[in-house]
Structure 1
Amino acid sequence: MSTPIASFDLTQRPPRSPRSRLGGYAILPRMLDKGRAVLAGKNGEYHYDCGLDQHIIKFIGFDPAALSKELAAGKGDGEILEWLNANAKTPRTPWEIEAWSTYQDKRGPDSDAETLGFFAEKVGQFTKTREDIKTWFDFLDLDDHVSFGGKA
């Protein structure tokens, strides 16, 4: 089932959480939302093929420009997943996908002082009191929530 591109307005709501899964893959639904929003000219401050997206692009092995063409054709999530599975340079088994997605879900800033400082600074832009923001996904969910009117 195709979804109209115009429905992806990321100036009105955030993309899906990076924790959302499609075919077991973390990050993928968020990337699809951003890609559709870019095509509709409604991506706001969100970027397609960004650093976060690069994690899944490299893991599966696909061309983000080719994926964008599939999105422009109006393909739904299931159709996109089929396309990715058929065009993956590195086909993955279910256990590889699960392990990778679990790792991504728990991935926090590197332990070097520069990265930890950057992470703390970014989190500090939204809250000075929350101690539960430990991973990059935690940060992105917080950013999305606060950016659309929620309280930290």
Structure 2
Amino acid sequence: MKMQTPVSDRVETKGLVYFARMLDKIRLKARGELPPDYFVGMDDDPTMFDARCTRFLGIDYNELVDRTLKGRSDEEILEWCFKCGRKPSEEEIKIWNAFLLKRGWRDEASADLQAAKKREGLEDRDDIQTWVDLHDVEEGRTPRPFCCG
């Protein structure tokens, strides 16, 4: 089976970053196409992006998996999340997006990001400032600077 990396964390679904990546990982894992070293779902670490996203939306991860594997679009699944969990305001979505896209840059996740860069032999890459940047580089994409427009 051919392995495939998920879409970038930066891909937006109805303005929300990361959601498309989480669903892509669910689908790829179910098909046996997600590389085994990818984190998918919930565990004891509440700081993982999947855990943070499902808490932000007020939904159960296992219910999200079930809904995702029924073949719905990302937009339809997000609408389901809004109905069954919570629908964040535009301001909350902007705050979420900024938080997630900057994670690892001058915050409590910075040391872990630096350790991960070192493990990957990327400690000299100044363009990797966030976890999203690291994901992009590991998956063959060029990191983009965060921009508040």
TM-score, normalised to structure 1, is: 0.77
User: Cα RMSD between the aligned structures?
Assistant: 2.4
Is 1:26 the counterpart of 2:20? The answer is no
Q: Is the 8 A contact 2:104 2:110 kept in 1?
A: no
2:97 to 94, 97, 101: 101
Shift of 1:41: 2.2
Aligned partners of 2:116 and 2:98: how far apart in 1?
Answer: 23
Aligned partners of 2:61 and 2:78: how far apart in 1?
Answer: 13
Residue segments in structure 1 that go unaligned for 5+ positions in a row: 1-8
Match of 2:114 in 1: 120
Shift of 1:116: 4.3
- Detail structure 1 runs of 4+ shifted over 3 Å in the superposition: 109-112, 115-118
Q: Secondary structure at the match of 2:140?
A: helix
Output the amino acid matched with 1:107. R
1:29-75 alpha-carbon deviations (Å, 9 max, x no partner): 10000111122122222232152211111111101111111112111
Q: Is the 8 A contact 1:10 1:44 kept in 2?
A: no
TM-score, normalised to structure 2, is: 0.78
Match of 2:39 in 1: 47
Aligned partners of 2:121 and 2:139: how far apart in 1?
Answer: 11
Instruction: Note the 1:62-81 alignment, pairs <5 A.
Output: 62-81=59-78
The 1:10–1:80 alpha-carbon spacing in structure 2 relative to 1, beyond 3 Å, is farther
User: Quick check: which has more Rg, 1 or 2?
Assistant: 1
Match of 2:124 in 1: 129
Aligned residues: 135
Residue segments in structure 2 that go unaligned for 5+ positions in a row: 43-47, 143-149
Match of 1:143 in 2: 138
Q: Is the 8 A contact 1:108 1:135 kept in 2?
A: yes
Shift of 1:110: 6.1
Task: For CA contacts below 8 A with separation 6 or more, give which structure has more relative contact order.
Answer: 1
